[in-house]
Amino acid sequence: MPIINRIADYQDELTEWRRYLHKNPELGFEEFKTSDFVANKLEGMGLSVHRGLAGTGVVATLSSGDGSGKAIALRADMDALPLQEKGSVKHRSENPGKMHACGHDGHTTMLLGAAKYLTETQNFNGTVQFVFQPAEEGKGGGKKMIDDGLFNLFPAEEVYGMHNMPGMNVGEFAVAPGPMMAARDNFQILVQGRGGHAAMPHQGVDPVVVGSHIVLALQTITSRNINPQESLVVSVTQFHAGEAFNIIPDTVLLKGTCRVFDKELQETLPERIRLITDGVALTFGAKSELTYHSGYPATINTKSQSEFCAEIAQEIAGSANGVDLNPVPSMGAEDFSYMLQERPGCYIWAGNGDSAGLHHPEYDFNDQLLAVGASYWSKLVEQRLSKAS
């Protein structure tokens, strides 16, 4: 595949960086050692570095040319997951209960590699903002960086993101205009019944039975309440009740998530869930209380930037066949969506090969992707900020 030769020369160094980050994972808003590492590398390249956005965020600025070019932002996430690593690699996590199970160690390294190359060559006309974001995994670090003034302090007309994808060959990409990742909301439902002895269930109101009916009834939102051509997932992922074999508890606590692309449909979900939970509870003589948390919006690529990124990806892949231009959007969520709400841009998937899946305890980022991703970033900058334009 036609990666940039100079970046291919960095392979050993990039691998060393990535494996260091993998051995030292840190959770969202706790990336102190990680941000130190990133800032030190960027400063060593001679870049202007700012720290402190969203607490542990790092932004580096590189300008080149005659000052007439525009500014774009490239974003990588830095945080790890609260997961015990089960793999046997030599660079496995040294922090118990924490691991880079989503490849953010690789994302950070690829962007560092691009920063190194672009600083050396400066074959572009404009400004690049290298954005290293904390707390993507459920804590909204992207939104926090924006709230802290990301695009005011570091102006950018467009913003770009990338994520590795297990199951796709290294050197392959997937990108399209429109939805790439779903919106993510969370909910919890407290069912109030009346407990008692398990041998005499008629004397109480069993919240376990009520909760079980609620779980089943919630599935009708997808199967019977929305257009079958729409995409929606409503999943109950936790069911907490009772502590003894022979006691019916007073309460049950359900927790779950909704994933959807359409914003208008997303806005209807709290009331629809409330109607179902209240109705089911009333049927059995119980009460329910819904707490609904709106989370990440859907990740929606803009048309022009997506078409441009597809062209860059095809150059890296070496052929049009190496780029899926019609990928099935993922029902996973991504807080890069907040940045795309602020600026036009594109979020692309890059193949990680035959690795374990994302968020799996045996996952490991494929180091062969490092030079591929860094080349993608570099060619994106050189062509989007072409000196000839």
Residue 130 has pLDDT above 80, yes or no: yes
Query: What does the pLDDT look like over 315-363, one tens digit per residue?
Result: 999 987 899 999 999 999 999 999 999 999 999 999 999 999 999 999 9
Query: What does the pLDDT look like over 361-375, one tens digit per residue?
Result: 999 999 999 999 999
The Cα 303–Cα 311 span in angstroms is 13
pLDDT on residue 389: 57
pLDDT on residue 387: 77
Alpha helices in the chain (DSSP H): 5-8, 11-23, 32-44, 104-121, 141-147, 150-153, 207-218, 220-224, 263-284, 303-317, 336-342, 369-384
- For residue 17, CA distances in Å to 39, 66, 109 come to 13, 33, 7
In contact, 195 and 250? CB cutoff 8 Å: yes
First to last CA, the chain: 27
Closest to 187 in 3D by CA, of 296, 252, 265, 273: 273
Query: What does the pLDDT look like over 247-274, one tens digit per residue?
Result: 999 999 999 999 999 999 999 999 999 9
Strands 71-77 and 158-165 come out as: parallel
Closest to 232 in 3D by CA, of 254, 257, 213: 257
Mean pLDDT of 132-153: 98
The separation between CA 52 and the C-alpha centre of its own chain, rounded to angstroms, equals: 21
Closest to 337 in 3D by CA, of 303, 309, 296: 296
CATH of 5-180+299-384, one of 3.50.50.60, 3.30.365.10, 3.40.630.10, 3.30.200.20: 3.40.630.10
pLDDT on residue 1: 62
pLDDT on residue 321: 85
Q: How many CA atoms lie within 13 A of 83 on its CB side?
A: 20
For 343-363, b/e burial (b = at least 16 CB within 10 A) is bebbbbbbbbbebeebebeeb
Instruction: Give the torsion through C-alpha atoms of 265, 267, 273, 278, to 10 deg.
Output: -140
Work out the angle at residue 27's Cα, subtended by the Cα atoms of residues 50 and 186, and round it to the nearest 5 degrees. Answer: 110
pLDDT on residue 319: 82
Mean pLDDT of 192-204: 97
Query: What does the pLDDT look like over 147-181, one tens digit per residue?
Result: 999 999 999 999 999 999 999 999 999 999 999 99
Q: pTM of this prediction?
A: 0.94
pLDDT on residue 67: 86
The Cα 279–Cα 283 span in angstroms is 6
Q: What is the mean pLDDT of the chain?
A: 97
User: Position 13: which residue type?
Assistant: E
User: Position 101: which residue type?
Assistant: A
Q: How many helices (H) and strands (E) does the chain have?
A: 12, 16
Considering only CA atoms, give the Rg of the chain.
24
Residue 16 has pLDDT above 80, yes or no: yes
Query: What does the pLDDT look like over 283-299, one tens digit per residue?
Result: 999 999 999 999 999 99
Closest to 136 in 3D by CA, of 165, 107, 110: 107
Question: How many residues does this entry show for the chain?
Answer: 389
What residue segments make up the domains of the chain, in order of their start? 5-180+299-384, 183-293
Query: What does the pLDDT look like over 45-85, one tens digit per residue?
Result: 999 999 999 999 999 999 999 989 999 999 999 999 999 99
Class assignment of domain 183-293? alpha beta
In contact, 291 and 186? CB cutoff 8 Å: no
